[in-house]
Amino acid sequence: MGLFKKKEIWKPEERGGIVVGYDSKKKIYYFESDTKHSLITGVTGSGKTKRVFIPSILTAISYGDSFIANDTKKELYYTLKTLLEEKGYDVLLIDYRFPEFGQRYNFMDDVIHNVKAGKDDEAQMESADLVATLLPRPKTGEPMWTDGARSAIEATILGLAVSEDIPQSAKNISNVFYNIMKLGRQTGKTTPIDEYFKSGERSYIETVAYGNYGMSSSKVRMSFNSLATSSIREFTYKKITKQTSMSDFNIRDYAQKDSKPVAIFVVNPDEKETLERLSTTFIEAMYRKLTEESNKMPGSKLPRRWHFYLDEFTNMGKLKDFSKRLTVSRGRNIIYHLGVQADKMLDSTYGKDDADVIRKNTSVKVWLTAPDTEDRKFIQEAVGQESVIGTNKNKRERGLFDLSISKDSLSLSSKKKQLISTEFLTLMGGVGYEQDAVVKKTGMFAFKTKLPFWMECNYAEFIKPISYEDEIERKDDETLEYWKLLPVEEALEESGAGSQDMGESQEVNQTQSGEDKELADSVSFLDESYEYDPANVEYPDYDS
């Protein structure tokens, strides 16, 4: 046995990653296997999905990695579903465009679970995180309005979760809306929701969550109610209510060492501004739960690599604290792959400072097109220049009596040259070129590469796409719109409103056969019971 041991050379863990090239002779893709975030830039029609995302997902499948994909056109789901199932994956679809298809997910799931398990602190923190996602605090303006509206939502979430009298299927965000809308109305000197949370029977976490809301005047609380309900109104659409009333899976089950790999496709209805925020809320919830599970693992690292494939990243809406998340997620074995149409869209969505952090932390950059001068200049600055050494030879004529030995002089000169020429960038992405993309990895020189459409490769032999005709609509039970944290009649009696204020409650109840019947489809958002002028309400200026 020798005195010295041979030093082992570190090698990156063999896992899937973003594709960076293709060998047409060997018919294999080259990809980044290390834990690196990536940024893919290309205009509409440049092939981000078919040239980069699908081949990259196929590399992840070959190593059994799990992933979540933003699938606006449902193209990834249709293309890969059959293959994933053949490879032993659980395939889940969260479709916010057509919510009657795919799986369901209740955003209150963890709050309810923690309350049942007696973990009040965890329930309180989970509800606070959820509300922060549903109603982000503005960077400018008075935070009082946001804090008050958050307090109303959080207290109602916890109220629904804690109550043993409320059916499980009624504990969802849709009924948070209805409780604030119905029980937050002024009836005499107080409101039913005030009486509910001021009751000595309320739990500690309910009382604390109610704090900011409860300390304000009645007129201010009406403004809080308005902001709170407007921030969660999309959950009241019938199909969305059904989809978010319960959960068909628990992401934590897939974060364990011996769990099956899972593929989750999230359909973001980018054409519907009222619904597009649902997908970002879901993705943030998934990341938060995976992070919590990683904290229980050795080295705070998930046993299986997780990829977030977020094509059309800037069209999804702004993810909360994303630049901060990007800096720490790699250590948890979570990688982001972001697709954008133009680099400047990062600035418009996240602001220059956060956009710069995103650029610096996406170690692998792939450019598929550079349609204008600004884009070409940005790429050339990002990939850098090279020094070219030139020689100048000056020949000197010798005179008749010149006895010097040297006749010529030689000089060297250095000049800078772009690593990627403007001409190449102008033509990049065209059909028939041997190289059609540029890749730059941190710490390495940029290089030109070939990234073909997946259909042109050997993948086409074993991928069996499906179509929308193969989908089966989910059969749901009727949802329970349960807006009575406290029965209205009882609340009004406790508040001392008297029989005069009972008329409206009786009229409402005439449209229902009981508290478990669906509310009327056209429920008025604001009515005469509100005693405030919207013109005097100072609403915060939210970032897009």
pLDDT at 411 > cutoff 70: no
The answer for 312, left when phi > 0, alpha when psi is -120 to 50, beta otherwise, is left
Determine whether 15 is exposed, middle or buried from the number of CB atoms within 10 Å of its CB (0-12, 13-18, 19+).
Answer: buried
pLDDT higher at 368 or 433? 368
User: How many whole angstroms separate alpha carbon 157 and alpha carbon 175?
Assistant: 9
Query: In 3D, which of 444, 515, 442, 434 has the Cα closest to residue 482?
Result: 515
187-206 mean pLDDT: 80
Give the number of other Cβ atoms within 10 Å of residue 244's Cβ. Answer: 26
Tell me the pLDDT tens digit for each residue of 153-169.
Answer: 999 999 999 988 888 88
Residues of the chain with CATH 3.40.50.300: 19-104+249-369+428-470
Report the CATH number of the 19-104+249-369+428-470 domain. 3.40.50.300
pLDDT at 433 > cutoff 70: no
The whole-number pLDDT of residue 485 equals: 59
User: How many whole angstroms separate alpha carbon 240 and alpha carbon 477?
Assistant: 13
Tell me the pLDDT tens digit for each residue of 342-367.
Answer: 988 999 999 999 999 999 999 999 99
The whole-number pLDDT of residue 193 equals: 82
How much is the pTM?
Answer: 0.81
pLDDT at 54 > cutoff 90: yes
20-30 mean pLDDT: 89
Half-sphere exposure in the Cβ direction for 469 (13 Å, CA): 1
CA angle 172, 160, 170 (to 5 degrees): 40
